[in-house]
């Protein structure tokens, strides 16, 4: 007899009792999952497994939805600083969605000059116990003295178009309108989709490292970008003698690879991130490697740093 058929034969009180037990077990399992996620984050295990971030690891390897993954990341990282949050999650006194509201607000504050203290976070957690999501938003907003920004939403539609919603600050909105005014002479009707497309085209033309620059003015690469591109081969012994990678070679490599080429030796998974890309020497400069396209590959910044950390460990032995 199937489990579904068995449930159908249970009395109302037994169904209610069993469900309550299952929900309790679910919260206990959730707590254990978060402990494991915290450990993966602490070890940066996601990097050695071929993922550029903990979020990507949870969505692409573990199969969580974007929202579910971010909620678990929020709780795992907050629990490092405020361990008691785990007890509240396991008891059901605080929901993951409440922690997400709090984490979003903290990030909003931390992007400015102020930082949210551990004491403030602990106080907030105690005030969120047993509260609804709406009550949580009010409490967090008042405690941190900020208006909570709505989440950015991107909805893919049947015709493959995307509906995009984002909340801007007053200053951001003014900049956006100023850009629209500047572009008004080159746009047919000045609609916002045209404005965004025009600005995107200009950024891609000027900043896309895979696109060869036709003019010196648009091919300028800053010293910080050059330093980042060569991060994995940095050492005191070679800094003085290193020469910058020729821009033509940089463009060739970025056009060839397009995404992070790091491939995990453990899982065989290729990172493929297109976020914050840098250049990495296959054979490091300190080991005689050259600034040639055949000796260069594209890595995301996190994998570039991780590889440098590993190489630094090897060289220090």
pLDDT at 222 over 90: no
Confidence of residue 176 (pLDDT cuts 50, 70, 90): confident
Q: Count Cβ atoms within 10 A of the Cβ of residue 48 and give its class: 0-12 exposed, 13-18 middle, 19 or more buried.
A: middle
Phi-psi region of 84 (alpha: psi -120 to 50; beta: other; left: phi over 0): alpha
The predicted-structure confidence for 91-134, as pLDDT tens digits, reads as follows: 999 999 999 999 999 998 998 888 999 999 999 999 999 999 99
Do 84 and 122 meet the contact criterion of CB atoms below 8 Å apart?
yes
Q: Can you give the pTM of this predicted structure?
A: 0.73
Residue with tokens 């010293």: 223
Instruction: Count other C-beta atoms under 10 Å from residue 297's C-beta.
Output: 17
Strands (E), the chain: 153-156, 162-165, 277-281, 296-300
Show me where the domains of the chain are located: 3-144, 168-207, 223-316
pLDDT digits (tens, 9 = 90+) for 8-50: 899 999 999 999 999 999 999 999 999 999 999 999 999 999 9
Burial class (CB in 10 A: 0-12, 13-18, 19+), 258: middle
Q: What is the pLDDT of residues 61-75, one digit of tens each?
A: 999 999 999 999 999
Q: Both tokens of residue 64?
A: 């969580």
What's the burial of 16, exposed, middle or buried (CB within 10 Å: 0-12/13-18/19+)? exposed
pLDDT for the residue 85: 97
In this prediction, residue 211 carries a pLDDT of 64
3-state secondary structure of 164: strand
Q: At what angle do helices 133-144 and 118-128 cross, to 10 degrees?
A: 150
301-305 mean pLDDT: 94
Q: If we measure between CA atoms, which residue out of 253, 267, 210, 277 comes closest to residue 51?
A: 267
Confidence tier at 314 by pLDDT (50, 70, 90): low
User: Has residue 263 got a pLDDT over 50?
Assistant: yes
Per DSSP, what are the bridge partners of residue 155?
163
Asked whether the predicted pLDDT for residue 241 surpasses 60, the reply is: no
Share of residues in the chain with pLDDT > 90 (%): 59
């Amino acid at each position: 007899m199937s489990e579904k058929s068995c449930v159908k034969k249970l009395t109302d009180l037994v169904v209610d009792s069993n469900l309550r037990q299952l929900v309790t077990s679910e919260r206990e399992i959730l707590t254990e999952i978060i402990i494991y996620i915290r450990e993966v984050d602490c070890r940066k295990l996601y990097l050695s497994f071929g993922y550029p971030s903990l979020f990507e690891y949870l969505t692409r390897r573990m199969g969580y939805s974007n929202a579910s993954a971010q909620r678990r990341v929020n709780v795992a990282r907050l629990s490092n600083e405020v361990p008691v949050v785990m007890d509240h999650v396991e008891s059901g006194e605080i929901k993951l969605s409440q922690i997400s509201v709090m984490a979003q607000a903290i990030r909003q504050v931390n992007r400015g000059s102020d930082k949210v203290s551990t004491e403030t976070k602990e106080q907030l957690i105690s005030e969120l116990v047993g509260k609804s999501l709406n009550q949580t938003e009010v409490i967090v907003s008042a405690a941190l003295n900020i208006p909570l920004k709505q989440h950015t939403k991107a909805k893919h539609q049947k015709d493959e178009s995307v509906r995009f919603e984002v909340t801007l600050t007053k200053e951001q909105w003014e900049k956006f309108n100023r850009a629209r005014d500047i572009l008004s002479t080159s746009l047919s009707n000045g609609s916002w989709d045209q404005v965004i497309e025009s600005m995107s085209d200009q950024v891609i033309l000027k900043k896309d490292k895979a696109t060869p620059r036709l003019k010196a003015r648009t091919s300028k690469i800053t010293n910080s970008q050059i330093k980042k591109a060569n991060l994995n081969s940095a050492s005191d012994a070679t800094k003085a003698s290193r020469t910058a990678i020729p821009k033509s070679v940089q463009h060739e490599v970025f056009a060839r690879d397009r995404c992070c080429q790091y491939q995990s030796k453990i899982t065989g998974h290729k990172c493929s991130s297109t976020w914050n890309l840098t250049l990495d020497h296959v054979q490091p400069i300190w080991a005689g490697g050259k600034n040639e396209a055949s000796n260069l590959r594209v890595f995301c910044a996190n994998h570039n740093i991780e590889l440098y950390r590993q190489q630094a460990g090897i060289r220090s032995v």
